[in-house]
Structure 1
Amino acid sequence: MALSQFIAEHYPDKGPAKWLAFGLECVTATTLLALMLLTCADVAGRYFFSNSINGAVEITEVMLAIMVFAQMPVITWRGGHVIVDLLDRLYGHLLVKLLALFSALLISAAFYFVAERMIYLASRSLRRGVVTEYLEFPVGYIVQFIAVMSYLCAATMITYGVYRAIKSQKE
């Protein structure tokens, strides 16, 4: 089976979002596999050889950040966030759609400002040479990754919110 055929069958997204979701899910899956192997090796080293892997906690922290922030744009685009709709029945259809659009724009703005702050913190960390405690990995690169994924979340949230608003007008 060709890769494009696999993606077409298993990814409901449209256009480049399909390939973006596939790429980010590959990053997440690879990171999860590496995290699982690291944890198994660390536990086996502790119990069988009385010696754990140096820096395993730091590597785990970095991998968890990569997994969470690589998956955020995909979840945002697919609308997988938790939505509380307790009062939707009390409001009219138009008001609910306007509130959904407003919340999408508000969330997008929040992601954008988080990304802006992360870019500032990443550049400051790289400029100052901030590194992790044991492995001395530059922290700024991870913060840059978080910023890029937050920018992507802002873009996908605006796209998703506008898509939902347009889709609801056709109904």
Structure 2
Amino acid sequence: MSFTHWLKDHYSERGPIMYIAFVLEAIAALTLFSLMLLTCADVIGRYLFANSVDGTTELTEMAIAIMIFSVLPIVTWRGGHVVVDIFDNLFSSKIITALSLLSALLISSTLYLLGIRVFELAARSIRRGEITDFLELPVGHIVQYIALMSWATAAFMISYGIYRILIGKK
């Protein structure tokens, strides 16, 4: 079976978004796997050799940021966020649709503005040469990644999120 056929069998998305979803999920999976290996090596080193892996906390923090922000656009695209529908029985479907559109616009604009601010902080961090305390890894590139994924999430929310609301698909 070819890779494309495997993707079509396992992903509901079609077109370029199918490949984007695969790449972002692969990044998250590889990050999670390397986090597991790091934790195992740290525990084994600590208990068997009385010496833990240096910089485990810093690497774990960076890995969690990479993992969370790599799947955020895909979760948004698929509509996988938690939705509270307390008022759905009280209002008409037109009002619910309008509130959903307002929510999607507010979320996407907030993520876009958040991405701008985070990118500014990343640029400042790179300009100043900020590094982590122990391993001395540059911080700005991870922060740039967070900004880019925030923008991707905003774009996915504004495009497919609003499309899903307008066609009435939950």
Q: How is 1:40-55 mapped onto 2 (pairs within 5 angstroms)?
A: 40-55=40-55
Q: Distance in 2 between matches of 1:7 and 1:98?
A: 35
Asked whether the 8 Å contact 2:21–2:74 carries over to 1, the reply is yes
5+ long unaligned stretches in structure 2? none
Paired residue secondary structure (1:150):
helix
Q: Distance in 1 between matches of 2:161 and 2:148?
A: 20
The one-character-per-residue Cα deviations of 1:8-38 (angstroms, maximum 9, x if unpaired) are: 0000012211111100000000001000000
Over the matched positions of the two proteins, sequence identity in percent amounts to: 51
Asked whether the 8 Å contact 1:100–1:161 carries over to 2, the reply is no
Q: What's the TM-score, normalizing by structure 1?
A: 0.96
Q: In structure 2, what is the equivalent of residue 86 of structure 1?
A: 86
Q: In structure 2, what is the equivalent of residue 160 of structure 1?
A: 160
Asked whether the 8 Å contact 1:126–1:140 carries over to 2, the reply is yes
5+ long unaligned stretches in structure 1? none
Q: Distance in 2 between matches of 1:150 and 1:10?
A: 26
Q: Distance in 2 between matches of 1:38 and 1:58?
A: 11
Q: Distance in 1 between matches of 2:24 and 2:161?
A: 21
Q: Which runs of 4+ in 1 moved over 4 A?
A: none
Asked whether the 8 Å contact 1:105–1:161 carries over to 2, the reply is no
Give 2:35's aligned amino acid: L
Q: In structure 2, what is the equivalent of residue 77 of structure 1?
A: 77
Q: What's the TM-score, normalizing by structure 2?
A: 0.97
How many residues get paired?
169
Q: Distance in 2 between matches of 1:46 and 1:121?
A: 36
Q: In structure 1, what is the equivalent of residue 147 of structure 2?
A: 147
Report deviation, 1:165.
3.2
Q: Distance in 1 between matches of 2:69 and 2:154?
A: 13
Give 1:135's aligned amino acid: L
